[in-house]
Structure 1
Amino acid sequence: MRIVIAGASGLIGTHLSATLREAGHDVTTLVRREPASPAEIRWDPAALRLDPAALAGADTVINFAGAGIGDRPWTRNRIDTLLTSRLAATRTLTAAMGKLDDPPRTLISQSGSNYYGDSGAAQLRESASPGSGILARLCVEWEAAAHEAPDGVGVVTTRTGIVLSRSGGSMGRLLPLLRLGVGGPLGNGRQYWSWITLPDVAAAFLFLAGAGIRGPVNVCAPESADVNALIGALASALHRPAFFRVPSPALRLVMWKLADELILASQRMEPAVLEAAGFQWQHPSLAEGAAWVAGKH
């Protein structure tokens, strides 16, 4: 397949690009700087500029583009940037597709587990209603922008959970503390974090590129876990204690709105669409996922 990726410089995009190339696929990445190789094409999503020829002949376009959610404090301007950067990038892609006589068959556009808001212990299939909050609204509008793709383009919106990696991403700050034995659960630890390992994320996107699936897809492992279980499994795999719980008020003091929406919110997703389609996880259980993070697999 020929696959075009927007926003390929992040944790998932970088790993996915390498995985796709290793599998023999032709991968082109859209960049906002001067291209460094023939496999890169420059675009300017803030100005809604992309030569439609960049997408000509592509089988699938994968969209991760958008400002980092947890990179900076959530000022009013930053919240606006989180939304506008995603909408601009997505609409730049769909507009370019609309100018092609033969647009790509599939657009896979990233969303997030935050679509469901703070949902407690309720099990969330893809048919569940959106929640409330800044990130839920962001995901709803982001998904709607993807559905502006022209007729004939199958749109997949991936509601991806917490990605377990050996470095970077959500684990970039937590893992070093756990390795030192000074980490622990966040808040009361009873909030659910839908999780998936980095190799399984890449495998899921490759699967979705060719499976003919359309609509929302929960991208997470089949075994759900609350934060107490997740942190406990990671600490155990690393042979370290995890006694140092960070209470909710301290998180709110330091992180303000970020704490409630990113860390203390609970989403217990069920990957119903992937399971029904026959997707096979490399790390379906928390024990296996934690062992991979610890370098045991």
Structure 2
Amino acid sequence: MKIAVTGASGLIGGRLVPALQADGHDVIRLVRRTPRTVDEHRWAPQHRRLAPDLLEDVDAVINLAGTPIRPRPWTPAYKQRLLNSRLDATATVSEALAAAAAADPTRHRVLLSASGIGYYGDAGDKPIDETEPPGSDFLAELCARWEGATAPAEEAGVRVVLLRTGLVIGHGAMLMRILGLLFRAGLGGRLGSGRQYWPWISLQDEVDAIRFLLQSDLMGPVNLTAPRPVTNAEFTRELGRVVRRPTVLPVPGPLLSLALGEFARSSVLGGQQALPARLTAAGFTFTHTSLEVALREALAKE
């Protein structure tokens, strides 16, 4: 297959592109800077610009572009940046794919577009699969609109898969850098009540699931999470065990909310017991079903 990837320099894209190339695919990367290699092609999603012929002979687009969601207060300007970066990128590739499909309706095309498990909002301890409706907080609204931006491609007959990804556990992941530093310093502890679920997936399984979905016939939302989500308290215990440090310094929820505002309430103190129902039913086999093993690999010294 010929595959175009956006967000190829990010955590997932950086691991995915070499894997796709090893699978024998012809991969091109869409970049916003001046191209440095023959497989890079410039686009300007903030201006909705993409060369009209670039996706003509492409079989698949994997859209991972978007400003990273960081642990900081969500000011109105930052929230708009998070939203715009996702909508602009997704609408740009969706419209380009729709145009390519109109020009050559005989080619079977697929769009795998990033989304997040935050689509469901804070769901408490209720088990969540892909049939659950969206939540009502900012992150849920962002994910719903992000997914909605794929409509032009879907309406043109492109198979669209929405990648609702959980917390990615992998070497270099922001979550691992921050928590690894704190826990190794002996400053680890549960966050808030610790009862909120943290749906996670290893970086290896994230990449393998995307490769699997390229070749499958699934369409629509797919939860990219490990089969057994854990609570924050469980996550804390496992991480403390891995780094061999006590986890006796819980951080009160009100303090987190005061420091990080809406980010804390949505992404730290809220959670989802999200299950990979469609991925499992389709026959995908996870490499990492144990959080401890995933954490050990993510935090291993290189």
- TM norm. shorter chain > 0.5: yes
Q: How far apart, CA to CA, are the structure 2 residues paired with 1:201 and 1:110? A: 11
- 1:272 maps onto 2:270 in alignment: no
Equivalent residue number for residue 134 of structure 2: 130
Q: How far apart, CA to CA, are the structure 2 residues paired with 1:172 and 1:209? A: 30
Q: How far apart, CA to CA, are the structure 2 residues paired with 1:17 and 1:86? A: 20
**Which amino acid in structure 1 is aligned with residue 249 of structure 2?**
F
Equivalent residue number for residue 148 of structure 1: 152
- 1:222 maps onto 2:227 in alignment: yes
- 1:61 maps onto 2:61 in alignment: yes
Query: How far 1:72 sits from its partner (Å)?
Result: 5.1
- 1:12 maps onto 2:12 in alignment: yes
Q: How far apart, CA to CA, are the structure 2 residues paired with 1:22 and 1:187? A: 43
What is the 5 A alignment of 1:149-188? 149=153, 150-188=155-193
Equivalent residue number for residue 86 of structure 2: 86
Q: Which digits, 9 at most, give the CA deviation of each residue in 1:121-140, with x for residues without a partner?
A: 00001001111100100111
- 1:28 maps onto 2:15 in alignment: no
Query: How far 1:22 sits from its partner (Å)?
Result: 2.6
**Which amino acid in structure 1 is aligned with residue 138 of structure 2?**
I
Q: How far apart, CA to CA, are the structure 1 residues paired with 2:214 and 2:242? A: 33
What is the 5 A alignment of 1:190-229? 190-229=195-234
Does the 8 Å CA contact 1:186/1:227 hold for their aligned counterparts? yes
Does the 8 Å CA contact 2:168/2:201 hold for their aligned counterparts? yes
- 1:283 maps onto 2:283 in alignment: no
**Which amino acid in structure 1 is aligned with residue 45 of structure 2?**
P
Does the 8 Å CA contact 1:167/1:175 hold for their aligned counterparts? no
Between 1:127-136 and 1:243-252, the stretch displaced more is 243-252
Between 1:27-36 and 1:15-24, the stretch displaced more is 15-24
Which of residues 88, 107, 122 in structure 2 aligns to 1:118? 122
Query: How far 1:104 sits from its partner (Å)?
Result: 5.8
Query: How far 1:293 sits from its partner (Å)?
Result: 2.6
Q: Which digits, 9 at most, give the CA deviation of each residue in 1:178-209, with x for residues without a partner?
A: 22332222111110010011111000111111
Secondary structure of 1:252's partner?
helix
Secondary structure of 1:28's partner?
strand
- 1:139 maps onto 2:143 in alignment: yes
Q: How far apart, CA to CA, are the structure 1 residues paired with 2:114 and 2:74? A: 21
Does the 8 Å CA contact 1:56/1:104 hold for their aligned counterparts? no
Query: How far 1:2 sits from its partner (Å)?
Result: 1.6
Between 1:182-191 and 1:268-277, the stretch displaced more is 182-191
**Which amino acid in structure 1 is aligned with residue 115 of structure 2?**
S
For these two proteins, the number of residue pairs brought into alignment is: 296
- Identity across matched positions, percent: 43
Q: Which digits, 9 at most, give the CA deviation of each residue in 1:257-279, with x for residues without a partner?
A: 11101111111101000100110
Secondary structure of 1:99's partner?
helix
**Which amino acid in structure 1 is aligned with residue 284 of structure 2?**
F
Q: How far apart, CA to CA, are the structure 1 residues paired with 2:75 and 2:215? A: 40
Does the 8 Å CA contact 2:170/2:294 hold for their aligned counterparts? no
What value does the CA root-mean-square deviation take over the aligned residues? 1.6
Query: How far 1:9 sits from its partner (Å)?
Result: 1.9
- 1:107 maps onto 2:111 in alignment: yes
What is the 5 A alignment of 1:45-56? 45-56=45-56
Change (3 A) 1:205 1:54: same
Q: How far apart, CA to CA, are the structure 2 residues paired with 1:125 and 1:111? A: 15
Query: How far 1:80 sits from its partner (Å)?
Result: 1.4
Q: How far apart, CA to CA, are the structure 1 residues paired with 2:78 and 2:148? A: 21
Secondary structure of 2:250's partner?
coil
Secondary structure of 1:108's partner?
strand
Does the 8 Å CA contact 1:52/1:97 hold for their aligned counterparts? no
Secondary structure of 1:212's partner?
coil
Structure 1 outlier segments of 4+, above 3 Å: none
Does the 8 Å CA contact 2:98/2:152 hold for their aligned counterparts? no
Q: How far apart, CA to CA, are the structure 2 residues paired with 1:169 and 1:158? A: 19
TM-score (norm 2): 0.93
Between 1:6-15 and 1:199-208, the stretch displaced more is 6-15
